[in-house]
Amino acid sequence: MTPFKFCRALKPAVKPTIKFILFSLGVAGIFWFTPEAYAQSMTLDLGPSAGASSTGRIIQMVLLLTVLSLAPSILVMMTSFTRIVIVLSFLRTAMGTQQTPPNQVLLSLALFLTMFIMMPTFQTAYDDAIQPLIDGNINESQAFTRAIVPFETFMKAHVRNQDVTLFADMAKLTDAQLQQNMPLRVLIPAFMISELKRAFEIGFLMFVPFLIIDMVVASVLMAMGMMMLPPVIIALPFKIVFFVLVDGWYMIVGSLVRSYTG
């Protein structure tokens, strides 16, 4: 009788145990009759022709994975995403709608607006760097140098001079060095500070009309003797109606886009 027929003849509760024992014995027999398996180990040997070029390929792969992992940070640092998402967050806070629109909606809107604004920059980087790299006309170093140029142009067009001066002084760079070749370690933080300042300016201007509505509602409630009624609850519908009547999303989104393209 074969082992499998023997297993079928046993009770159902015993069959899994017997099958596991037979499988274990079979695996042990394979390794028992192949002593060379004990000496095997996994290596990263690239063959007898491996040399500096293979090591360079490994380094390039590691650098590529690093860049892909830092892609969200690069998106935040070198594009219009920072200003847009902060302004949208200020808008929700000024209206007092708590989690409406939700974070996913605001982030998605900010992301697509960023793609719309940055599309010419992305297209230039693709035409000048990515496509020649795919065609094999340039190497990775040249592709990176070419790809960063459109982003440098974009950031230089929207950065404040005093922010650049601040980081240039801390980096001990002269004006001649800045005019010749502004390093990214100066340009990127200066650009982010400029974006934060402009985003807070826009946020302040958005707060003013909603603050006026809060003050009017609070004054009316105090005049009517309803001091125990929270003014925020009464003011919220008026804020929403006011924002809808003035077509607020059209104005906010249009102003944000025109601040870069206009």
pLDDT one-digit tens code per residue, 214-227: 888 888 888 877 77
Q: Is the pLDDT assigned to residue 42 strictly greater than 50?
A: no
Whether 119 and 202 map to the same domain: the answer is yes
Out of 53-67, 116-130, 140-154, 190-204, least confident range: 53-67
pLDDT number for residue 194: 93
**Structure-token pair, residue 61:** 């792969």
Phi, psi for 163 (deg, rounded to 5): -70, -40
Whether 18 and 115 map to the same domain: the answer is no
Q: Is the pLDDT assigned to residue 233 strictly greater than 90?
A: no
Q: Is the pLDDT assigned to residue 22 strictly greater than 70?
A: no
Are the C-beta atoms of 7 and 19 separated by less than 8 Å? yes
Residue 48 falls inside a structural domain: no
pLDDT number for residue 86: 92
Q: Measuring CA to CA, how many Å separate 95 from each of 74, 84, 218?
A: 30, 17, 15
CA distance 58 to 44: 11
Residue 192 falls inside a structural domain: yes
Q: Which of 52-66, 116-130, 167-181 is modeled with the greatest confidence?
A: 116-130
Q: 138 lies in which domain range?
A: 70-261
Whether 182 and 230 map to the same domain: the answer is yes
**Structure-token pair, residue 200:** 């807070």
3-state helix, strand, coil in the chain (%, to 5): 80, 0, 20
Whether 140 and 17 map to the same domain: the answer is no
Whether 13 and 131 map to the same domain: the answer is no
Residue 60 falls inside a structural domain: no
pLDDT number for residue 10: 47
Whether 16 and 77 map to the same domain: the answer is no
Which of the 8 DSSP states describes residue 181? -
Whether 19 and 119 map to the same domain: the answer is no
CA distance 95 to 93: 5
Whether 197 and 150 map to the same domain: the answer is yes
Whether 135 and 20 map to the same domain: the answer is no
Q: Is the pLDDT assigned to residue 231 strictly greater than 90?
A: no
Are the C-beta atoms of 237 and 122 separated by less than 8 Å? no
Whether 208 and 119 map to the same domain: the answer is yes
pLDDT number for residue 99: 80
Residue appearing with tokens 């490994």: 58
Whether 108 and 230 map to the same domain: the answer is yes
R_g of the chain computed on alpha carbons: 32
Residue 65 falls inside a structural domain: no
Tell whether omega for the bond before 12 is within 30 degrees of 0, i.e. cis.
Answer: no
Q: Is the pLDDT assigned to residue 33 strictly greater than 50?
A: no
CA distance 3 to 26: 12
**Structure-token pair, residue 166:** 């601040």
Residue 233 falls inside a structural domain: yes
pLDDT number for residue 84: 92
Which pTM does this prediction carry? Answer: 0.70
pLDDT number for residue 30: 46
Q: What is the mean pLDDT of the chain?
A: 77
Q: Is the pLDDT assigned to residue 58 strictly greater than 60?
A: yes
Whether 189 and 106 map to the same domain: the answer is yes
Residue 50 falls inside a structural domain: no
Written as one letter, the residue type at 225 is G
Number of independent structural domains in the chain: 2
Residue 189 falls inside a structural domain: yes
CA distance 149 to 163: 20
Q: How confident is the model at residue 40 (pLDDT cuts 50, 70, 90)?
A: very low
Residue 62 falls inside a structural domain: no
Q: Which residue, 187, 136, 149, is CA-closest to 165?
A: 187
